[in-house]
Amino acid sequence: MIDDILKASEERMKKALEHVRHEMVSIRTGRATPALLEPLRVDYYGTPTPISQMAQITSPDARMLVIQPWDKGMLGAIEKAIQKSELGINPTNDGNVIRLALPHPTEERRKDLVKQVHQRAEEGRVAVRNIRRDGMDQLKRVESVSEADIKRGQERLEKITSQHIHEVDEVSKQKETEVLEV
């Protein structure tokens, strides 16, 4: 019973860590990667569709993304979706492809991005702690198990929590270094 609770808590913490990693990918560092466009959805004949499912996205250099849709009629819709997004990039449409030139982030913009990194990392730490709290509550409600076993289970849950919070901090440090890199 205790092992089941610990295993379920650890699985939930892993999912929270993966969510933090996914959120960090969406923070723009100044390098052009197709992952920047992952959160964007384009209205494809009435269905919100990720750009990656309707176009080829390439990065010919560190500051440029090229989007080549398989259906040329979707150029305008993709362009509008990029303009409406929070990316802050103005797309260039030449009738065949859309080019996104990423500007060098200013020092002020880098500081804002670092704040976003810290905010998302803190959200991840809070999620892990909430999972720990739920696990602790479940352990306290377990009956037909000795107090010593429950205490050992709580200690193991604390170790699992510390490990996942450390991993969130590592992801945050890596992203912060990436953002501050000139």
Question: Which domains are assigned to the chain?
Answer: 2-26+106-180 (1.10.132.20), 34-101 (3.30.1360.40)
Residue 23: what pLDDT?
86
What is the distance between the alpha carbons of residues 26 and 177, in angstroms, rounded to a whole number?
15
Structure tokens, 120: 């998302």
Which residue, 59, 6, 68, is CA-closest to 30? Answer: 59
Residue 82: what pLDDT?
87
Output the pTM of the full model.
Answer: 0.70
What is the distance between the alpha carbons of residues 60 and 66, in angstroms, rounded to a whole number?
7
Tens digit of each residue's pLDDT (9 = 90 or more) over 13-52: 999 999 999 888 777 676 777 878 887 899 888 889 998 8
Mean pLDDT to the nearest integer, 79-96: 85
Residue 182: what pLDDT?
60
pLDDT band at 63 (very low <50, low <70, confident <90, very high): confident
Tens digit of each residue's pLDDT (9 = 90 or more) over 95-131: 889 998 887 778 888 888 899 999 999 999 999 999 9
At 29 the three-state DSSP class reads coil
Which H or E run contains 74? none
Residue 73 has pLDDT above 70, yes or no: yes
